[in-house]
Copies of this chain bind each other. A is one copy, B any other.
Amino acid sequence: MTDKQVFKVNPPQFKNMISFEEAFKKVLDHPLSLGDERVTLLQGTGNILAEDIKADRDFPPFDRSTKDGIAINFSAIEREIDRFKIEGTLSAGMAQQTLSSDTNCFEIMTGAILPKDADTIIMYEETDIGNGWAILSKTPTKGQNIHAKGSDEKAGAVIVEKGTKITAAVIGVLASVGKTEVLVQKLPKVCVISTGNELVEVSETPLPHQIRKSNTLSLAAALEKVNITPTRLHLADNRTIIAKELQKALTEYDVLMLSGGVSKGKFDFIPDAMEALGVQKVFHHVAQRPGKPFWFGFQAAERKVVFSFPGNPVSTFANYHVYFLPWLAKVLGIEIEKHTVILEEPVQPHPRLTLFLQVRTEWRKGSFYAKLVQGNGSGDLVSLAKADGFICVPKGETQISERNVFWFIPCV
């Protein structure tokens, strides 16, 4: 009996599972409204603006020299004057001066304010300077080398819109309009929870049947990349402790992110404990690999969200990137552009499961190519460390030929 024939009879392990598309939609259908908060400027980096940023004055705020040279009044050129007496030197940061005569000039530095009654700047390279005089070696154009007041933005104009991600360039804009503090979208408070008696601390030497905690550390590192510093918590496989600790965590955090505890094993108490605490199961089991036993819940009364990922490292890691990051973008009201990649080899879809396959990517001439990274099942952390991300292979019967395009989920 081939695998394909087995799948066709819809074996029990595919019952009660929802499709990846359905699961993804259900996750996005449960955003939180977290409001906004004021943070200091540099703390805002990477966050999402919760206010429109307006120019507090014209940009640039004055007619600004774009060259080192001399400032003149062009009417002199029209009268065929090509020698100017130097009245002084202006540098950036000096208050505005006035040209006393159109036969005079000021030496002027880049960034300095154009003197009153001057309208044209000639760079040093087109002049001869000596004995207090500047002689032009080239005929200028009226108004040249001036970055005009308000030519970038007028005072009061919205220069960065609410909802924009605060990049390093945006920090520069915020600084220039005097935002020592900035209103940003609040990020969820996240508690990352490991479960399972088999787990010991990183600092411990595990017995043969034990392993060290790794998923909560991976998740913490990944969350730091989106500016979230989670609290980490470990729950032993004990029904009473689990119930008590989960109740406490649900009070303190917006999101619980669990790893382990959602397979059908008898020692996995989490789903029951959740339902007892008023967290409704939105779904459990998704027709995907890795990450099939993903449990997602929502507590409507207090508006808390629970991502309960399977215990295997690759499952947890894939689910975090596939579900949590788009959910977070939804919460913050931003769009994440879907990246796509060209797979350089054929791939066999699964007839009933959406596959997330580890790939390594490469840029060539404006296109983005991927090759599969062979892992050894969902427990293989090491292969994961060699991948740049996952491609999403929708379920299907027939092999997909090489050079097809897939949704690419980059890993942080």
Instruction: State the A residues within 8 Å of B (CB).
Output: 11-13, 41-42, 45, 59-62, 64, 66, 68, 89, 91-96, 107, 109-113, 123-126, 147, 151-153, 159-160, 164, 166-180, 196-199, 202-215, 217-222, 224-225, 237, 260, 263-268, 311-313, 317, 337-342, 362-369, 376-385, 387, 405, 411-412
Contact = CB atoms under 8 A, between A and B. Distances in A.
Given A93-B196, A172-B317, A341-B366, A152 B382 contact: yes
The 9 closest A-B pairs by CB, nearest first: A93-B198, A93-B197, A109-B265, A172-B218, A342-B366, A168-B222, A91-B267, A175-B214, A168-B221
A195 to B, nearest CB: 10
Contact of A263 (B45, B110, B160): B110
B213 A93 contact: no
A257 to B, nearest CB: 13
A147 B211 CA distance: 14
A3 to B, nearest CB: 12
A212 to B, nearest CB: 5
B342 A387 contact: no
A374 B207 CA distance: 62
A173 B380 CA distance: 9
A163 B197 CA distance: 34
A225 B376 CA distance: 33
Most buried by B among A93, A225, A339: A93
* Residue of A168, A177, A178, A363 with most chain B CB atoms under a 10 A cut-off: A168
A352 B129 CA distance: 26
Identical copies of this chain, number: 2
A126 to B, nearest CB: 8
Contact of A266 (B42, B45, B89, B224): B89
A377 B60 CA distance: 11
Contacts of A367: 366-368
Given A172-B214, A317-B168, A363 B337 contact: yes
A126 B41 CA distance: 59
A41 B168 contact: no
Nearest to A343: B366
A225 B176 CA distance: 21
Contact of A221 (B12, B42, B91, B384): B42
A365 to B, nearest CB: 5
Given A169-B381, A366-B405, 8 more contacts: A61-B206, A62-B208, A92-B197, A92-B260, A107-B266, A109-B265, A147-B379, A340-B363
Nearest to A6: B138
A103 to B, nearest CB: 22
Contacts of A313: 172, 176
A319 to B, nearest CB: 13
